Structure 1
Amino acid sequence: MAELTVLGSSGAWPEAGRACSAFLVRDGGARIVLDLGYGVLPRLLALCPDGEVDAVVITHEHPDHCVDVSGLARVRHYHAAGRPRVPLYCTAGVLDVLRAAEPTIDPESVFDVHVVHGRDSWRVGEHVEVTTVPVPHHVPAVGVRLSGPSATIAYTGDSGPADALVELGADADLFVMEATLTEPDPGEVPRLLTAGQAAELAERAGAATLMLTHFWPGADRETAVREACAVFSGDVLAAEEGHTLTLQRPVQPQSSLRLDGT
């Protein structure tokens, strides 16, 4: 089985009692963190003491997605000295944020850093394939797709509506999508999604379940779910801190062989 635990679900800054968008995925024996924004680190440490994970993947450099990587660097520097560096996959701007936040601990001293340049792929552990796809946002950003033995999970990070998201979430068991806006972005190139736009793209992708996240502080989450349910034919969930979703890819039935050879 695969598990996705919601570490945070807010966008921009965390509402009281919440944290910014972040997820812990377990599949195939690997523990993978997707984004680490404001308020996430204590929740991660409660599940993975000393930040012992197999990879951290950061979608872009905005602080509501990456600032607590700086705190994790301190944990690894002071409490995990001598242990293997945690693989960190991120866009280039994330490293600038980390070095500005903590000039005395270079990210590469505690992390095995891999800069993601748009479309990329790699393996975490023996069984999880990770793919990134460029998505439209205010800064260089990627969506992330995890294909493990138990489930395929796709995550938009922050993104405007684009065909790239249909590719990202194609036939995913779970598509985690940002739903920041209540009205469509009026910009020439939209940079964020509404719940309805997320649902439309998830439906086109053929995803089984849609989870909405990155809610603007004060947003009515029930309204967002209703808006998505009007468009998406599968289950729709709102990300809630502390919730763990268990996923298991359906077993495809084997075709039977009849004695007459048909």
Structure 2
Amino acid sequence: MNLTVLGCATPYPRPGQPCSGYLVSEGDTYVVLDCGSGTFAALQTYLDPGEVTALWISHLHPDHSADLLAWSNWALNTENAPRIPVYGPPGWARRLDQMLTGDSALVDGIFEIHELCDHHMAAYGPLTLTARAVEHSVPGFGVRIDGPNARLAYSGDTEPCPALTDLARDADLFVCEAGTASPNRYHTTPEQAAHTAIAAGAKRLLLTHLALALDPHALPTTPGVATTIAEPGWLWSSDQRG
């Protein structure tokens, strides 16, 4: 299993820094987790959008979902574009329809629509995706991806909660947001992310979605879990764990 960071900026993109998006692959199965502003262009550095197996959206804040519009324009303007399965919070397709045309069923014609719920499961190729409802200011979901030889967990945006620990349980890579510098509702601090990783027995922690107030070069280290700070283009492979 491989993970490539397409972007990790919040709350808006900056030059060379798209918002949240991650490409997970196993063989010829490609799953995109979140599509914040700028990630659709970044994706095309690695593969054609038509090769994507499924798109998974944690929640509908723009820094995680705005490029659904770019995906839609691609689908509408690409001859024989595949009808890619898209998973997102309840109502995501209706909201996208309203942004594209005002009120229609356009999205159902270009994407295969799926709505997430707690413990929702989907399988593509060798990968199984399990969603967990997490604690954010809007309906949000983290996801666990189990493959033949590795386990990956992605937090989405959330404050620490039991579902987040469940997602990260024994994960080879735990991709966790650090969207706040001090404890508050709806986001996780770097220290809280590390403590969750340790409690869950995760082998490696990738801190992502860092709050603007956080200096990635000055974050304290937490003994007990190997930690990396996400940046666009960062690649993890289960063949090179540790």
Question: Structure 2 length normalisation: TM-score?
Answer: 0.93
Please give the alpha-carbon distance, in whole angstroms, between the structure 1 residues aligned to 2:167 and 2:56.
Answer: 15
Give runs of aligned pairs for residues 183-202 of structure 1, distance below 5 A. 183-185=182-184, 190-202=185-197
Matched with 1:36 is 35
User: Does structure 1 residue 88 correspond to structure 2 residue 79?
Assistant: no
Please give the alpha-carbon distance, in whole angstroms, between the structure 2 residues aligned to 1:28 and 1:169.
Answer: 23
In the TM superposition, what whole-angstrom CA distance separates every residue of 1:68-102 from its partner, at most 9, and x where no partner exists?
Answer: 011011112211x3343111011124324422331
> Which is further off, 108-117 or 192-201?
108-117
Deviation at 1:245, TM superposition (A): 1.3
Deviation at 1:206, TM superposition (A): 0.3
Matched with 1:206 is 201
Maintained 8 Å contact 1:118/1:133 = yes
Maintained 8 Å contact 1:175/1:210 = yes
Matched with 1:236 is 227
Instruction: For 2:157, give the aligned amino acid.
Output: D
Instruction: For 1:91, give the aligned amino acid.
Output: P
Maintained 8 Å contact 1:31/1:55 = yes
What RMSD in Å do the two structures reach over aligned CA positions?
1.8
Please give the alpha-carbon distance, in whole angstroms, between the structure 2 residues aligned to 1:249 and 1:119.
Answer: 29
Please give the alpha-carbon distance, in whole angstroms, between the structure 1 residues aligned to 2:217 and 2:168.
Answer: 23
In the TM superposition, what whole-angstrom CA distance separates every residue of 1:95-143 from its partner, at most 9, and x where no partner exists?
Answer: 2442233128822111111111232111012x11110000000011010
Please give the alpha-carbon distance, in whole angstroms, between the structure 2 residues aligned to 1:44 and 1:97.
Answer: 23
Instruction: For 1:203, give the aligned amino acid.
Output: I
Please give the alpha-carbon distance, in whole angstroms, between the structure 2 residues aligned to 1:211 and 1:205.
Answer: 14
- 3-state SS of paired residue (1:203): helix
Give runs of aligned pairs for residues 114-125 of structure 1, distance below 5 A. 114-125=114-125
Matched with 1:130 is 129
Deviation at 1:249, TM superposition (A): 8.6
Q: Mind listing any 5+ residue stretches in structure 1 that lack a counterpart?
A: 251-262
Please give the alpha-carbon distance, in whole angstroms, between the structure 2 residues aligned to 1:39 and 1:204.
Answer: 34
Q: Mind listing any 5+ residue stretches in structure 2 that lack a counterpart?
A: none
- 3-state SS of paired residue (2:153): strand
Please give the alpha-carbon distance, in whole angstroms, between the structure 1 residues aligned to 2:110 and 2:240.
Answer: 35
Maintained 8 Å contact 2:117/2:132 = no
Matched with 1:108 is 108
Instruction: For 2:62, give the aligned amino acid.
Output: P
Please give the alpha-carbon distance, in whole angstroms, between the structure 2 residues aligned to 1:41 and 1:165.
Answer: 27
Matched with 1:246 is 237
Maintained 8 Å contact 1:60/1:93 = no
Maintained 8 Å contact 1:118/1:141 = no
Question: Structure 1 length normalisation: TM-score?
Answer: 0.86
Instruction: For 1:200, give the aligned amino acid.
Output: H
| Total equivalences in the alignment | 239
Deviation at 1:197, TM superposition (A): 0.5
The structure-2 alpha-carbon separation of the partners of 1:28 and 1:149, relative to structure 1 and needing over 3 Å to count, comes to: farther
| Structure 1 residue runs of 4 or more that deviate by more than 3 Å after TM superposition | none
Maintained 8 Å contact 1:61/1:97 = no
The structure-2 alpha-carbon separation of the partners of 1:223 and 1:106, relative to structure 1 and needing over 3 Å to count, comes to: farther
User: Does structure 1 residue 170 correspond to structure 2 residue 157?
Assistant: no
- 3-state SS of paired residue (1:117): coil
Matched with 1:56 is 55
Instruction: For 1:248, give the aligned amino acid.
Output: D
